Amino acid sequence: MADLLSLPSTFVLLFTISVYFASSSQYLFSVNASVTPINYNLYHSSGNLMEEIGDLVRRHPAKLTMETFKSGNKGYGAEVAVVTYCKRERENDERSKFRILLSFGQHGRELITTELALRILSILSEEQHLPSMDLATLNSTLGKLIIKVVPMENLNGRKLVEGGDLCERRNGRGVDLNRNWSVDWGKKEKDYDPYEENPGLAPFSEPETQIMQKLAMSFAPHIWVNVHSGMEALFMPYDHKNTTPDELPLQRMKSLLEEVNLLHCQKHCMIGSGGGSVGYFAHGTATDFMYDMVRVPMAFTFEIYGDGTASSKDCFKMFNPTDPSSYNRVLSDWSAAFFTIFKLGPHQLDEIHSKALDRLVSIDEYLDGYLMDRRNRYGKKMEVIELGMQEVRIYFRLFLLSLVLLMFMFCSRISKSKCTRPIVSAIPL
């Protein structure tokens, strides 16, 4: 009886379970069907890409050199390869050259950026050519530069992507390398998602970030570009707040970005501060550190491609062009954009320096400019200096006056002592 009574309910239960499994398998099927796999007909694997770059460097030893930096902690190790472009015309002329540091592949899933690194290096080696720039212009531009290229900052994260985790952007142990720097590190917004933005246990906890920090501090570049994908934009500091630097720094960065937007982005790239334009604040980013701490005069984050129509799970499609024509277009447009930067960047800095020198006609003006610049860069912390500007001017004048007096006293003592010094024989003792 009990068995007979339970028959219909068992049937209902079985039916429900089968419908559930059918629908969930259909769901799984539909998700899998909409996820685009990495197109290895267009893209290199990380191993092939680094091998090809190594071969390129070996074929052009007069222009390209490569170093690999290794670091690690708590059982996690990472290595970062750095390719240097420098045409040595004279010995030891590296320090007089204009220095540019470019990083690609900081986020694992943004494969197109590492392809761009290879394209730029191929053009620098002159194995590939830019249709928009003749060789004479290219050579005169490049003779003044030393360019360091990090083709794949996050090799471990990239390997996870290649292993099937197509949405992974973090490093090999789940830390976002663009949140692991010390400027405004660790602050979390309301929509904080550790899968996307885990900043690590402390600033510079990650070997990759440590390597990049040392590289940037020792190289002291004039231009830094952190190359990403997910949208099309040309960002300047700051990422952690809705403001840009003021006056001269803003002017030099903005005019360079506007030129790049006009020439290579058909004016549709977004320009502005990362924090003000992207729709969220990012804390502990590389570009904010480069600008504030390394004092790189022109520090940028470029976003070179994004497919807004792709579903949020379809990361290869969202962050990378999937067909040959868009792939080639992105690489041609953006390699040309970088060569525009190589050409215009040094002029930009010279021009603005000369304008700045024209403007500095008095100590008072210099002091005003210097103090205003400091105040703007550090916000409220320096306001006290603005209040005391008048006093600072007076103290500075007094300081100069006392310096002159001291020098006078010192010189008069020396001349006295020279006169009274006994004449000694020039014969060695």
The pairing of strands 231-236 and 298-305 is antiparallel
Q: Where are the alpha helices (DSSP H) in 360-424?
A: 363-378, 383-387, 389-420
Output 123 or 299, the one with its CB closest to Zn ion. Answer: 299
Active-site choice (303, 365, 383, 386) = 303
| Comparison of 157 and 207: residue with beta carbon closer to Zn ion | 157
* Residues 6+ positions from 395 with CB-CB distance below 8 Å: none
Q: What's the closest the beta carbon of residue 78 comes to Zn ion, in angstroms? A: 17
Residues 127 and 174 sit within 8 Å (Cβ to Cβ): no
* Residue closer to Zn ion (CB basis): 63 or 107: 107
The nearer residue to Zn ion, 184 or 197, going by C-beta atoms, is 197
Distance CA 215, CA 106 (A): 15
As measured in angstroms, the least distance from the Cβ of 110 to Zn ion is: 5
Nearest-angstrom CA–CA distance, 7 and 11? 6
Least distance in angstroms from the C-beta of 282 to Zn ion: 10
Closest to Zn ion by CB, 170 or 228: 228
Report helix, strand or coil for 137: helix
Q: Shortest distance, CB of residue 228 to Zn ion, whole angstroms? A: 3
**The token pair that represents 20 in the structure block:** 């559930």
3-state secondary structure of 270: strand
**Residue 221 vs 306, nearer CB to Zn ion:** 306
- 196 assigned to active site: no
CB 226 to Zn ion: min, Å? 8
Structure tokens at 413: 């003592």
Of residues 56 and 155, the one with the C-beta less far from Zn ion:
155
- Other Cβ atoms closer than 10 A to 386: 13
Q: How far is the CB of 201 from Zn ion (least distance, A)?
A: 21
Nearest to 335 by CA among 127, 57, 107: 127
Length of the chain as a residue count: 429
Minimum CB distance to Zn ion smaller for 99 or for 107: 107
Q: In 3D, which of 143, 358, 343, 356 has the Cα closest to residue 248?
A: 356
- What strand order describes the sheet that includes 270-273? 64-73, 76-85, 145-150, 98-104, 223-228, 298-305, 231-236, 270-273
Cβ 230 to Zn ion shortest distance, Å: 6
Least CB distance to Zn ion at residue 168 (A)? 11
CA-nearest of 88, 120, 90 to 102 is: 120
In the bound state with Zn ion, the residue whose beta carbon lies nearer, of 107 and 375, is 107
Residues that bind Zn ion (CB under 5 A): 107, 228
Q: DSSP readout, 307-371?
A: -TTS-TT-HHHHHS--SHHHHHHHHHHHHHHHHHHHHHHHHHHHHHHHHHHHH--SHHHHHHHHH
Residues 6 or more apart whose CB falls under 8 angstroms from that of 102 comprise: 117, 120, 147, 148, 149, 150, 224, 225, 227, 338
Q: Which helix (H) or strand (E) holds 210?
A: helix 207-219
How far is CA 278 from each of CA 242, 284, 407, rounded to the nearest angstrom? 10, 16, 56
Positive/negative CA dihedral, 118, 119, 120, 121: positive
Closest contact distance (angstroms) between CB of 161 and Zn ion is 12
- Which amino acids are annotated catalytic? 303
